[in-house]
Chains A and B, each alone.
Chain A
Amino acid sequence: MVRAEGVRKRFGHLEVLKGISLEVAEREVMVLLGPSGSGKSTFLRCINHLEKIDGGRLSVDGELVGYRQSGDTLYELKEREVSRKRAEIGMVFQRFNLFPNMTALSNVTCAPVHVRGLKKDAAERRARELLDRVGLSDKADAYPSMLSGGQQQRVAIARALAMEPKLMLFDEPTSALDPELVGEVLDVMKGLARDGMTMIVVTHEMGFAREVGDRVVFMDDGVVVEEGPPASVFTNPQHARTKSFLSKIL
């Protein structure tokens, strides 16, 4: 589903990704771990072209991200084509980024109506199903500022699902939440994983990684240090850096 070969990204003089090579299969849940500044969020943002990569190749579902290749020449994609591809990838942010001027329901129907051209009542019916799925059917008419962090993040997940994505990216979805609200968001994500959604999750929730992750990738300083099934990475890390990181957070 996602294939990265030597992906590089720099911000000015700072090289954030120094050649990331990864593969995520369909229906796989990959958990990205690593200290802050290791480049995991940047890598996630590259996958839906919120950041432009400077080197290497990155493709989703067999198609390059942000470019079109013809022979040996790369062509940058037009904004419209980039948008069309982004619509197929759901993204959930650390700070929710719900639209504060819209109700929960409108947050979920916004993109299907305006991007996909879905009829309003059809979109609302679907949105109510999704809100029900994340356990918020009674909050459809609430504005984000009336919801708790956990509820907001669940609306954000419903909003991403409304576009029927083939891949979901989670950028530290529980890091901005009070500890007692983390569980409700993780439960929704576990449900998604059970239903076979392909997911890349940047998180510090080791319990989630262990229970749901098919594979754990440990990144540090812009490179992949170690990867493998959660059981073996957590219990028997091979690299010193992985060991010291895990010893601090487990």
Chain B
Amino acid sequence: MTDGPEPIRAVPVRHPGRWVALAVIAVLVAMFVNMLVTNDAFQWRFMFENMFREPVLEGVKTSLTLTVYSMILGVLLGITIAVMRLSDNRIISTVAWFYTWFFRAVPRLVLCVLCGNLGILLQRIEVGVPFGGPLSRLTGLEAVDGKIWGADGNTILVGFFAGLLALTLSEAAYMAEIVRAGILSVDAGQSEAAQALGMSRGLTMRKVVLPQAMRVIVPPTGNETIAMLKDTALVAAVPVTTELFFQLSAIGSRTFQPFPMYVAACLWYVGMTSVLLVGQHYLEKRFSRGVAGQMKVRALTMGASK
């Protein structure tokens, strides 16, 4: 029997630093757990009794609904603005730049308050011919008025819708930048190849560029969704009173036990964010089709099945 080279037997490098770190962290964790258990201010029983009450669950629903709607609308508007930003048309790209500049510059909290008070600015909201009212007065023709639909600003632009409007407008500005980065990350050869096949620019964008850009767009969009879930707490300033944090702190101030309710808020947000993280994981997997790391696994399994 011919022996190959002798296997290596060496003394592994010692890592004393790891043991020291472990000891320090163990002590800190023990102290923290001790505090959780022994400090009466936590009022665990009180917290669990109150964190699942009807208005709180209503608040969870409002926060989740706001997150979903504002993200969907924000992403759609963001894609539109990103495409506008990359347009050859100077006017359109300037408008898009202006939008992202403005809505990234204004804090979300301020935007929420502003949208909640838009009723002062727009007492009536009407859809029809621009300047239709003054025009028809000027010409004496009633047809020019062209009013299709109208409503009282103070009934629409309050509460939920005002909050949704604020969050959507703000989110679209951030999403536009994310989508733009994604589109720019796709090799120029891809759109050239698509155009050489006779695809129009719109078709190239939809079928070739955006699907590939998604791989770059999805991870930061996941972050945005998580940030949005937490920022729904801001709509309390609109005001939207059915929102989660508002409800929890209301219970806290009513019962003079604010701290347990703040802990409850932490737990609710941590829980909901964790669920979102799972969803993000699957989305990322879906949009990395055809990319090297993924393919290795697939190639191996395909080879094995033959």
Contacts and interface: CB of A to CB of B under 8 A. Distances in A.
Interface of A: 48, 50, 79-80, 83-91, 93, 95, 97-102, 110-111, 114-115, 143-146, 156, 159-160, 163
Nearest to A84: B198
Given A84-B198, A86-B196, A163-B197, A145 B203 contact: no
A141 to B, nearest CB: 9
A50 B192 contact: yes
Given A89-B196, A146-B295, A156-B193, 6 more contacts: A50-B195, A85-B198, A86-B196, A91-B193, A93-B196, A97-B189
Given A143-B289, A143-B290, A93 B189 contact: yes
A124 B298 CA distance: 23
A101 B212 contact: yes
Interface residues of B, number: 25
B292 interface: yes
Contacts, number: 80
A100 B211 CA distance: 10
A111 B203 CA distance: 10
Nearest to B197: A111
B40 to A, nearest CB: 57
A99 B295 contact: no
A144 to B, nearest CB: 7
B196 A114 contact: no
A109 to B, nearest CB: 11
B207 A83 contact: no
Given A144-B290, A145-B291, A99 B208 contact: yes
Contacts of A99: 190, 193-194, 208, 212
B290 A83 contact: no
A172 to B, nearest CB: 13
Main secondary structure of the interface of A (DSSP, over half): mixed
Interface of B: 187, 189-190, 192-201, 203, 207-208, 211-212, 289-292, 295, 298-299
B197 A97 contact: no
Given A83-B200, A143-B289, A97 B192 contact: yes
Given A50-B195, A83-B195, A146-B299, A97 B200 contact: no
Contact of A110 (B192, B195, B197, B212): B197
Contacts of A87: 197-198
Contacts of B197: 86-87, 110-111, 115, 159-160, 163
B3 to A, nearest CB: 37
Contacts of B289: 101, 143
Nearest to A159: B197
B193 A97 contact: yes
Most buried by A among B190, B197, B289, B298: B197
Contacts of A146: 295, 298-299
A163 B298 CA distance: 30
A110 B198 CA distance: 11
Nearest to A111: B197
Which 3 A/B pairs are nearest by Cβ-Cβ distance?
A: A87-B198, A97-B193, A111-B197
B199 A100 contact: no
A160 B212 CA distance: 21
Contacts of A80: 200
B54 to A, nearest CB: 46
18 contacts: A50-B195, A50-B196, A83-B200, A84-B198, A93-B189, A97-B187, A97-B189, A97-B193, A99-B193, A100-B212, A100-B290, A100-B291, A101-B212, A101-B289, A111-B198, A143-B289, A143-B298, A146-B295
Contacts of B198: 83-88, 111, 115, 163
